[in-house]
Amino acid sequence: MRLDDALFNWLQIQLVAEARPDDRAAADTRDFFRDMLTEDHGLANLLVHKTDDTMIHVKYDKDGRSKTQLIPREAAEQLLADINANPKYN
């Protein structure tokens, strides 16, 4: 999986796991993508650094350098919105 795709997937499920702390499946999926980013792509210190009106700033270290990836907030929050809109998951 490409780095950008894995990072986006991690962010989406990270937001779900934060909003739903008792959701074990969300936590397990978040850990899966975090491990992929760490092991397959060599990222370290992965975190949601900042959220503004339009973007979520994800920081990480790669090859000894600190990097920031900006991801559109609406797209990143879509999975959580979809879950919250489905009565089956609430």
Of the candidates 32, 11, 4, the residue with the CA atom closest to the CA atom of residue 80:
11
3-class DSSP assignment, residue 21:
coil
Question: Are the beta carbons of 58 and 49 closer than 8 angstroms?
Answer: yes
Q: Mean pLDDT, to the nearest integer, of 22-50? A: 96
pLDDT over threshold 70, residue 2: yes
Taking CA atoms, 49 is separated from 22, 35, 52, in Å, by 23, 19, 10
pLDDT at 90: 67
Separation of alpha carbons 46 and 61, rounded Å: 7
Which amino acid makes up residue 41? H
Average pLDDT value for the chain: 95
pLDDT digit string, tens, across residues 41-76: 999 999 999 999 999 999 999 999 999 999 999 999
